[in-house]
Structure formats: structure tokens, C-alpha cells
Structure 1
Amino acid sequence: MLVKWIRCTAVDRRGFERGQRKWAGLLGEPGFRGQGGGWSRERPDVAHVFAFWENRVFYDSFMARGHEQLAAAQSGTYKDAQVKLFEYRFDVKTGFEPVFTDVDVVRVAHSRVHEDRVEHFSLMQRQVWNPAMAGSPGMVRGAFGEAPGHEFLVLSMWQSSAERGKYRPNSVERLSLRAGIEEDVAALAGDVVQLEPSWTV
């Protein structure tokens, strides 16, 4: 599965939201698995969108055919768009599906990992972070993806920000030490996204 992460800054928030709803046109596209997104909790003008495709072939086919027509509805409503593609590697918790209807919040963590620490980083994700998140009340599902250049994406979906709040901050500090994250990670960025139900496809 291919995971697409888009982050941008809205300059016309209402126009952007109107355009975002037009992406319902993705339904029925061969290989399309689901899409959702919303606004950053920390920077209210920053939007995140997460799209899931069966594989790169289906995605490339859509980009060559139908993408421009759908994207035109949002032209001029945003700036600083950053788009990254990740190959899905494994679940965070079990039974990941690209479904957004039963969650309110997505936590996104983007890491660039030192080349010689990639295996260790992935192992710690499985052995330390995944069990901790999977055992947290309100954590519904998640996915771990990898991109060229030793970049990784961890998406975790939560029932509510209140539930996610119970997972912070002491446990994260303790888990970071256990996982040796400082030795593994060259750069780490993250955000908490309040999902907009009308963006879900």
C-alpha cells in the first residue's frame, strides 16, 4: 500500500475546504483505498491530508489522468505544499485500514533516520512504540511507512484528543530512552491533526 502525505498552508481557508470536498471524486478510482485529513491543532492554517492507494501503479495512473481536474478546485487557496509518498511497512496495532470515520485525531510523526540505524529504528517501532500505543485507551489504529532516503512516517489514529493526551508526556520520554531514539533519528517533526469529517473519502 502507498501512503501519500500532503501538508500545506491555507491562504483562503473556506475556499480550501470547499475544494477539499471535491476530492470525493476519488471514489471509484482504480486502486484508491481512502483519504482523510484536517487542520493542525498547533498551527490552525496548516492542513494535512493522508491518501492511501493499493500500489504505485494505480497512483501514477491517477496522477497522469484525473488529478489535475480535481486539484483545480483548490488552486490559489494554499501555499507551501509538501507532498511525500511512503510505502506501508506494518501496522501500529493490528488490522490497519485507511478508515477515518471512527476517529477524531491523527498524530503524524515524520523521522529522518541515520542510515546505519534504520534497522534498529524499525525494530524499536515494533518492540517499544507499537505495544505502548496499541495499549493506550482510545488509540484505534495506525501505520508505519518508509520512503527513500531513510525517511519514515508513523500515523496513529485516536478516538479523541483527550484520549491521546493520556499517552503524553511522561510515557513518551520513558519510551524515547528505551528505544534509543536520539541515536537513531537525525530529524523528527510531528503534528496533531483534528480531522474534518467532510474531507473523508
Structure 2
Amino acid sequence: MLVKWIRCTVVDRRGFERGQRAWAGLLGEPGFRGQGGGWSRRRPDVAHVFAFWESRAFYDSFMARAHERLAAAQSGTYKDIEVRLFDHRFDVKTGFEPRFAEADVARVAHCTVHEERVEHFALMQQRVWNPAMAGSPGMLGGVFAEAPGHEFLVLSLWQAAAERGKYRAERLERLALRAETETDVAALSGDVVRLDAAWTV
């Protein structure tokens, strides 16, 4: 499965939200699995969108045919767009499906990992982070995905911000020590996204 992460700074919020509805046109596209997104809780002008495709071939076909027509509805409403593609490596909590209806919040972590630590990082995600997240109340599921250049995306969906809040602070510090995260990771950025049901396709 291919995971697409789009992050952009929005200059016309109302126009962007209106244009976001045009992406309903993705329904019925061969290989399309689902899409959702919303606004950053830290920076109200930043929007995140997450899209899922069966494979790179289906995605490339869509980009060559229908993408420009759908994207035109949001033309001029944003600046500084960043688009990144990742290959699904494994689920965070088994049986992940790109369904956003039950989720209020998404947590996204983007990591660049030292080359010699890549396998250790992935192993710690499976053995330390995944069980901790999977056992947290309100955590619905997620994906661990990889891009060339030792880049990783960890995306998790949560029922409510309050539930994700319980998972934080001292517990995260303990887990990071166990997983040797500081040794593995060269750069880390992340965000908490308040999902907008109207953006779900």
C-alpha cells in the first residue's frame, strides 16, 4: 500500500475547505483506498491530508489522468505544499484500514533515521512502540511506512484528543529510552491533526 502525506500552509481557509470537497471524485478511482485529513492543532493555517493507494502503479495512473482536474478546485488557496510518498511496511495495531470516520485526531511523526540504524529503528517500532500504542485506550490503528533516504512515517488515528493525551509525557520518555530512539533518529518532526469529517473520502 502507498501512503501519501500532503502538508500545506493555507492562505484562504474557506476556499481550501470548499475545494477539499472536490476530492470526493477519488471514489471509484482504481486502486484508491481512502483519504482523510484536517488542521494542525498547533498551527491553524497548516492542513494535513493522508491518502492511501493499493500500489504506486494505481497512484501514478491517477496522477497522469484525473489529478489536475480535482486539484484545480483548490488552486490559489495554499502555499508551501509538501507531498511525500511512503511504502506501507507494517500496521500499528493489526488490521489497519484507511477509514477516518471514527477518528477525531491523527498523530503524524516523520523521522529521518541514521542509515546504519534503520533495521534497529523498525524493530523497535514493532517491539516497543506498536504494543504500547495498540494497548492505549482510544487508539484506533495506524501505519508505519518508509520512503527512500531512510525516511519513515508513523501515522496513528485516535478516537479523541484526550485519549491521545493519556499516552504522553513520562510514558513516552520511558519508551524512547527503551527503544534507543535518540540513537536511531537523525531528525524528527511531527504534528497532531484535528480531523475534519468533511475531508474523508
SS of corresponding position for 2:86 = strand
Tell me how far apart the structure 2 counterparts of residues 119 and 33 of structure 1 sit (CA, whole Å). Answer: 28
Q: What is the Cα deviation at residue 45 of structure 1?
A: 0.6
SS of corresponding position for 2:191 = strand
The alignment's TM-score, normalised by the length of structure 2, stands at 1.00
Q: What is the Cα deviation at residue 74 of structure 1?
A: 0.3
Please name the residue that 1:72 is paired with.
72
Please name the residue that 2:36 is paired with.
36
Deviations 1:77-102 (A, max 9, x none): 00000000000010101100000001
Q: What is the Cα deviation at residue 7 of structure 1?
A: 0.1
The alignment's TM-score, normalised by the length of structure 1, stands at 1.00
SS of corresponding position for 2:103 = coil
Query: Unaligned regions of 5+ residues in structure 2, if any?
Result: none
* Percent identity (aligned): 79
Tell me how far apart the structure 1 counterparts of residues 191 and 182 of structure 2 sit (CA, whole Å). Answer: 19
1:81 paired with 2:57, answer: no
Query: Unaligned regions of 5+ residues in structure 1, if any?
Result: none
Q: What is the Cα deviation at residue 24 of structure 1?
A: 0.2
Q: What is the Cα deviation at residue 154 of structure 1?
A: 0.3
Please name the residue that 1:185 is paired with.
185
Please name the residue that 2:152 is paired with.
152
RMSD: 0.4
Q: List structure 1 segments (4+ residues) > 3 angstroms apart after TM superposition.
A: none
SS of corresponding position for 1:30 = coil
Which residue identity is paired with 2:9? T
Tell me how far apart the structure 2 counterparts of residues 177 and 79 of structure 1 sit (CA, whole Å). Answer: 38
Please name the residue that 2:45 is paired with.
45
Q: What is the Cα deviation at residue 175 of structure 1?
A: 0.5
| Paired residue total | 201
Q: What is the Cα deviation at residue 158 of structure 1?
A: 0.2
Alignment of 1:116-155 (within 5 A): 116-155=116-155
Tell me how far apart the structure 2 counterparts of residues 176 and 86 of structure 1 sit (CA, whole Å). Answer: 23
